[in-house]
Structure 1
Amino acid sequence: MQPDFTALAEQARQMQQRMVSAQKELEQSVVTGNSADGLVTVVASGLGRTLAVRVEAAVFDGRDAPALETAILQAIRAAANNAERLAATRMGPIEISLS
């Protein structure tokens, strides 16, 4: 028995529509990530594009550039991880049936 190519093409079209829709949702979504000390926040799109970096004034009191660099890196990584989790949730599993 051969697969029904019309049904397969329809499944592919529907999957593509879901992917396009999920990508649009992710583009409009916003995630944040914070440094371990909470003094730096990175705001990113659901696709992981950095939109803003917010630094609390307390960071400047110590004038510790390496600590600030570490905090910014932690916040960027946290935002990227949150965007990745959101994308996995929105995109969901991809299923293709060839029967």
Structure 2
Amino acid sequence: MKLDMNALMKQAQQMQEQMLRAQEEAKSEIKEASAGGGMVTVKASGAGELVEIRIDPRAIDPDDPELLADMVLAASNEALRAAAQSVESKLRGQMPDLGSLGLPGV
């Protein structure tokens, strides 16, 4: 079985273009997470940026600022984690079956 390098290079270029498109699409996806029974809600983009934080006024206790900080931190981490998983899933879906490339032993 002879390996067609031109076909392989063309397929690799198509794969790269698909991956770039998937990355751009994933960056615009927004994931949301909350903590404290919904008292703190955070939205994060697939680009790894926090885009919104909402805090219910009832969550603001002047005698316990650490609780609010913990809720913001927990919701932020979960939103970022969900966004990263979404990006990873989208990119994994763009990966070809490497055996279809005609590479021996793959």
TM-score, normalised to structure 1, is 0.85
Does the C-alpha gap of structure 1 residues 70 and 14 become closer, same or farther in structure 2, counting only changes over 3 Å? same
Q: Partners in 1 of 2:30 and 2:48 — Cα distance? A: 9
Q: Is the 8 Å Cα contact of residues 27 and 87 (structure 2) preserved in structure 1? A: no
1:13 matches 2:40: no
Stretches of 4+ aligned residues off by more than 6 angstroms: none
* Paired residues, number: 98
Question: Which residue does the alignment assign to 1:37?
Answer: 37
Question: Which residue does the alignment assign to 1:23?
Answer: 23
Counterpart secondary structure, 1:92: helix
- AA at the equivalent of 1:9: M
Structure 2: gaps spanning 5 or more residues: none
TM-score, normalised to structure 2, is 0.80
Tell me the CA shift for residue 32 of structure 1. 0.9
Question: Which residue does the alignment assign to 2:73?
Answer: 73
Percent identity for Structure 1 against Structure 2: 30
Tell me the CA shift for residue 36 of structure 1. 4.3
Q: Partners in 1 of 2:47 and 2:74 — Cα distance? A: 18
Q: Partners in 1 of 2:42 and 2:22 — Cα distance? A: 22
Q: Partners in 1 of 2:26 and 2:73 — Cα distance? A: 22
Which protein has the larger Cα radius of gyration, Structure 1 or Structure 2?
2
